[in-house]
Amino acid sequence: KQEVTQIPAALSVPEGENLVLNCSFTDSAIYNLQWFRQDPGKGLTSLLLIQSSQREQTSGRLNASLDKSSGRSTLYIAASQPGDSATYLCATLSGGSNYKLTFGKGTLLTVNP
């Protein structure tokens, strides 16, 4: 059974700092890994999706990497802004279950002005 862990559970940084969020997973047989953003009381906004054959994806100030063999992914946020404050969730779509995402508990990011 896939388990996804996100560290740290919470992170507070000053505006402008670069930061890294970590995600680890136990079963490396995944189709893809997605990073989502969730604002308080809201749904999920997809940020980046990395296919199992890819090493990284970039969108604006966001860069996500994937190392399947070690069961790790990182989300790098450059030049953080207060508007980046949210909970960031990673989720894997595992082999043999091409419809069921397994989520971590998320990292609550606070960017202070």
Partner 1 sequence: DTGVSQDPRHKITKRGQNVTFRCDPISEHNRLYWYRQTLGQGPEFLTYFQNEAQLEKSRLLSDRFSAERPKGSFSTLEIQRTEQGDSAMYLCASSLKGARELFFGEGSRLTVL
Burial group, residue 112, by CB count within 10 angstroms (0-12, 13-18, 19+): exposed
**Strand-pair category, 19-25 with 62-67:** unpaired
Write the interaction track for partner 1 spanning residues 51-90; mark x where CB under 8 A is met and - where it is not: --------------------------------------x-
97: CB partners within 8 A, 6+ apart? none
Q: Which is nearer to partner 1, 50 or 77 (CB)?
A: 50
CA distance 82 to 77: 12
26 is an interface residue for partner 1 by CB under 8 A: no
Q: Per CB under 8 A, which of residues 27..56 are in contact with partner 1?
A: 31-32, 34, 36, 41-46, 49
Residue choice 66, 86, 106, 111 for contact with partner 1 (CB under 8 A): 106
Q: Total number of residues binding partner 1 (CB under 8 A)?
A: 24
Its sign, for the CA torsion 49, 53, 58, 63, is positive
List interacting residues with partner 1 (CB under 8 A): 4, 31-32, 34, 36, 41-46, 49, 89, 91, 93, 98-106
